Structure 1
């Protein structure tokens, strides 16, 4: 073929309960009652007080100013006729929270007024016996803290005064204020330390938010260092790596410099040869200069021979060094299990140095760089599931699928060509192909064999070369990939067109590839090519 390249109470009456809470009542000698009053009347001249009289025994008795069959009990500022026996209110029990509250009575009680059993005599209305004050406990002293004294200090001074009055001599007063002073000192130290901490962090906050970031001055020292920047790294990640390598003084300084430099957000992944102790601005400028980049870039469709030469150059090695290492150590570089290496295969690493940018600076080993490339290819191929999809496309295994992708990449000139080119390959590999009898007839395979990129190959030359890479003479696929396919070609290989394409010709000799379904259409395209080429 003609193509090559790639996210919110009154007390209730407690039943009929007795005033004695159900216990047997005691009957005392009856006390004479004076006066006969009606239920709601008082004897004229009654002053509301008890009047003592003497019964000749020398004991003063209290007149009873009550008569009738019902006791009048004063309750909360009024009289309450309860029909129960009057009871003298006793002094409240300090332990009884209900001692000074009127008792709720219930049920009818016997009337002992006017009998010998009336005891104790009821108090006149409106008077209530007040609780007697509790005697003071002898020897108790008010606590110094409650009295407003000085606590331990006051007790110590009192003991000292007693000793002096008894003439027992003077004993120095224990100075507990010393401990108070120490406590105050601790408080001051803690408080002072807190203020110091606040001050320190405040200073750091100011430094981080407002003060200029630490930075070096100038273009750096004479010492150089290689720094690898991974794919997808942002300004802070790049700055952190440069700071760790001693290139810049702080990541913050680099971020500031990067945001101030036009186009600096476009710093690419890869390895950079930089100087130590550079100002952040200088580091940004140098990283934007292609001469600082110590990378090897594998382009889609590039052959391994070109990659090996680029590694030698970057590592400053003699020509052919990387190729020799690849030939000897390819089994140790992490190839997938389905990779092959038969006798006809020109390079077992071909198709496994995945296109991308890889760090390659002086001092690095070639095998380390090659291993990064192979690892990337293995991960990409596994992500696309090549082994599972190969058979659905009429191929034996993933290795053959990578080989097809390399042909698509090499023969297709533009992105739009790739799917059509993949169909051409599959159609020519079919056993039913009577147009070319399963011969691919690709110039790209022969050029790979020869290490060239010619589009003008004589028929005599092609027919005379027996190499299995000569697809003009040998049907089917070549022994292996003829380059390193990129993702566009790989996707097209997995999703070809289905239009019946079987022929193609780069009619302009470079980028314009046209496709045909029959041999007659092919001949027309061939004549067009010859006309453009001046043949």
Structure 2
């Protein structure tokens, strides 16, 4: 009996040692660096169980052994904590690291940059082309309702929700900047400031010119002069639904529309694009200037003038520049 007891104790000790060794082996393998040599992105579908997640990670090369991953999560982690989403795994991530990332819910952050000066139709097209987003947009907002900037989102976020964020961002920016506006502007409401900002945005993409362009338009409004902005004429033809696809003609400039600022006094009835924050700031804090005119200068910027005679000379230089470009194209 004593001998049998000794044997039993010995076996128990051996089993405990073996179990401890196995536990140590599994833990060391679970925590060892994985096979990835470059970042890999894996999407964990909703409702995926531990086995499916392990298989997906193995197929993507994140882990070397799906069975060991499943066992490791059950022994050293919490399978119930694993969450659906899109995850980016770092090179050398261990099985433990992979499980911890999926349990954290720290999914890949995507970003979409909306350039200044787009129409709402164009912005909605960018949202529709963003594959990580989900859902449809039922109604296109009016031009001027959306703030162009970079927006961050996760896979599966709805397009409508991102669009709503753009609208709320514009409302917040306009409210903030309206409160900081320069005194004695010929603008009675934030909406009028938004209209002017949209024209400024379409007239120049040069940061250093925005306040100057705004100053020209404010001078013209104060004097009761028509704004004579070509982009407003274009918008009167297209209503922001599609590019014009051609140059403006004299007939276009002479054709009255609510947006043709060669034919109407003051501002058009609504924005002609979605202006960025810098254009809003320029509209509400224009440069103090004596300029009343500007025209393209051929270098990406504009030539400004105080008098019509000076402006006409600048226009002649611009037309000469265009003729030179056309000659180079045909040669």
Q: Cα 1:280–1:441, aligned 2, differ >3 Å: closer, same or farther? A: farther
What residue is the counterpart of 1:394 in the other structure? 186
- Following superposition, the deviation at residue 448 of structure 1 comes to 3.0
What residue is the counterpart of 1:118 in the other structure? none
1:164-175 aligned at under 5 Å gives the runs none
SS at structure 2 position matched to 1:525:
helix
CA distance in 2, matches of 1:296, 1:516: 39
Q: Cα 1:380–1:278, aligned 2, differ >3 Å: closer, same or farther? A: same
- TM-score for the superposition, normalised by structure 2: 0.62
5+ long unaligned stretches in structure 2: 1-30, 46-61, 64-84, 98-107, 327-331
Aligned residues: 240
What residue is the counterpart of 2:118 in the other structure? 302
Alignment counterpart, residue 295 of structure 2, candidates 505, 514, 521 = 505
CA distance in 2, matches of 1:477, 1:281: 59
- Following superposition, the deviation at residue 514 of structure 1 comes to 0.6
- Following superposition, the deviation at residue 225 of structure 1 comes to 5.9
CA RMSD of aligned residues (A): 3.6
What residue is the counterpart of 2:315 in the other structure? 526
What residue is the counterpart of 1:367 in the other structure? 160
- Following superposition, the deviation at residue 274 of structure 1 comes to 4.7
Q: Cα 1:528–1:361, aligned 2, differ >3 Å: closer, same or farther? A: same
Q: Cα 1:424–1:274, aligned 2, differ >3 Å: closer, same or farther? A: same
User: For residues 26-60 of structure 1, what are the alpha-carbon distances to aligned partners after superposition, in whole Å with 9 as ceiling and x for unaligned?
Assistant: xxxxxxxxxxxxxxxxxxxxxxxxxxxxxxxxxxx
Q: Does 1:461 align with 2:252?
A: yes
What residue is the counterpart of 1:352 in the other structure? 145
User: For residues 327-363 of structure 1, what are the alpha-carbon distances to aligned partners after superposition, in whole Å with 9 as ceiling and x for unaligned?
Assistant: 4xx5xxxxxxxxxxxxxxxx2xx22321221235653
Q: Cα 1:443–1:302, aligned 2, differ >3 Å: closer, same or farther? A: same
Alignment counterpart, residue 224 of structure 1, candidates 35, 43, 59 = 43
What residue is the counterpart of 2:279 in the other structure? 489
The answer (yes or no) to whether the contact 1:351–1:406 under 8 Å persists in 2 is yes
The answer (yes or no) to whether the contact 1:390–1:398 under 8 Å persists in 2 is no
CA distance in 2, matches of 1:214, 1:377: 49
CA distance in 2, matches of 1:221, 1:396: 54
CA distance in 2, matches of 1:215, 1:487: 46
What residue is the counterpart of 2:229 in the other structure? 442
5+ long unaligned stretches in structure 1: 1-212, 227-247, 250-272, 284-291, 331-346
For the pair shown, which has the larger CA radius of gyration, 1 or 2? Answer: 1
User: For residues 420-471 of structure 1, what are the alpha-carbon distances to aligned partners after superposition, in whole Å with 9 as ceiling and x for unaligned?
Assistant: 10111112212x34xxxx311111112234243668311112323x321222
The answer (yes or no) to whether the contact 2:174–2:280 under 8 Å persists in 1 is no
- Following superposition, the deviation at residue 306 of structure 1 comes to 1.8
- Following superposition, the deviation at residue 486 of structure 1 comes to 2.1
Q: Does 1:409 align with 2:196?
A: no
CA distance in 2, matches of 1:460, 1:471: 14
- TM-score for the superposition, normalised by structure 1: 0.40
The answer (yes or no) to whether the contact 2:41–2:86 under 8 Å persists in 1 is no
Q: Cα 1:426–1:486, aligned 2, differ >3 Å: closer, same or farther? A: same
Q: Does 1:380 align with 2:169?
A: no
CA distance in 1, matches of 2:93, 2:318: 54
The answer (yes or no) to whether the contact 2:86–2:155 under 8 Å persists in 1 is no
Q: Cα 1:492–1:214, aligned 2, differ >3 Å: closer, same or farther? A: farther
Q: Cα 1:480–1:419, aligned 2, differ >3 Å: closer, same or farther? A: same
User: For residues 74-110 of structure 1, what are the alpha-carbon distances to aligned partners after superposition, in whole Å with 9 as ceiling and x for unaligned?
Assistant: xxxxxxxxxxxxxxxxxxxxxxxxxxxxxxxxxxxxx
User: For residues 489-534 of structure 1, what are the alpha-carbon distances to aligned partners after superposition, in whole Å with 9 as ceiling and x for unaligned?
Assistant: 22222222222211100021x6120111111111111111110001
Q: Cα 1:498–1:222, aligned 2, differ >3 Å: closer, same or farther? A: closer
Q: Cα 1:363–1:476, aligned 2, differ >3 Å: closer, same or farther? A: same
CA distance in 2, matches of 1:392, 1:363: 47
SS at structure 2 position matched to 1:367:
helix
CA distance in 2, matches of 1:281, 1:354: 39
What residue is the counterpart of 1:326 in the other structure? 139
